[in-house]
């Protein structure tokens, strides 16, 4: 009986899935990247970045178990148009991704500051800002030196 229970437990173990996102870093300013952050550990998740020989294009891949993750996505055209999105995604047991919440934080210009996001999300982003590409461009009002404020 106990062996059957163990076997049943093993079949119920969640399966890991590989999620891949396009990566681009052209010499003309174009840039696309997606970074995932664990909502449990509040740290960026290790990924594998594979690029072409030139390094301009590629894929960033993650090995993930079903659960909820924070997604930080940036896109910048060769012309300099910037787009930034923060999402809470759920990787379902069948490997499908569902977006639970999305914030368009930069659409050609800043549309939201960190203060406009839920405080727990803003805190996670700030704690990981060194690992989030174009963070200072996406959140320009949240990363300025505070000694330059009016009245000082």
Residue pair 88/100 in contact (Cβ under 8 Å)? The answer is yes
Instruction: Lowest mean pLDDT of 4-8, 84-88, 116-120, name the range.
Output: 4-8
Indicate the number of domains in the chain: 1
We report the CATH number of the domain holding residue 63 as 2.60.40
What is the rounded average pLDDT for all residues in the chain? 89
Q: Both tokens of residue 39? A: 């909502």
Which is nearest to 65 in space by CA: 40, 35, 95, 89?
A: 95
Which is nearest to 142 in space by CA: 152, 129, 151, 132?
A: 129
pTM exceeding 0.75: yes
Classify the phi-psi angles of 67: left when phi > 0, otherwise alpha if psi is within -120 to 50, otherwise beta: left
Model pLDDT for residues 22-75, shown as the tens digit of each residue: 999 998 899 999 999 999 999 999 999 999 998 899 999 999 999 999 999 999
Distance CA 35, CA 70 (A): 8
Residue 70 lies in a domain: yes
Residue 48's domain spans which residues? 15-136
Residue 103 lies in a domain: yes
Residue 94 lies in a domain: yes
Write out the E strands in 54-96.
57-64, 67-76, 82-91
């Amino acid at each position: 009986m106990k062996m059957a229970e163990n076997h049943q437990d093993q079949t119920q173990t969640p399966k890991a899935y590989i999620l891949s996102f396009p990566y681009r870093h052209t010499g003309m300013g174009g840039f696309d990247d997606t970074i995932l952050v664990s909502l449990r550990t509040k740290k960026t998740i290790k990924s594998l970045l594979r690029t072409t020989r030139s390094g301009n294009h590629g894929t960033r891949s993650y090995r993930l178990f079903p659960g909820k993750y924070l997604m930080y996505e940036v896109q910048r055209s060769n012309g300099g148009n910037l787009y930034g999105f923060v999402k809470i995604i759920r990787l379902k047991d069948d490997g499908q991704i569902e977006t639970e919440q999305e914030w368009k934080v930069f659409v050609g210009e800043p549309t939201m500051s960190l203060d406009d996001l839920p405080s727990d999300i803003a805190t996670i982003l700030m704690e990981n800002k060194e690992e989030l590409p174009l963070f200072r461009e996406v959140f320009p009002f949240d990363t300025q030196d505070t000694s330059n404020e009016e009245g000082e």
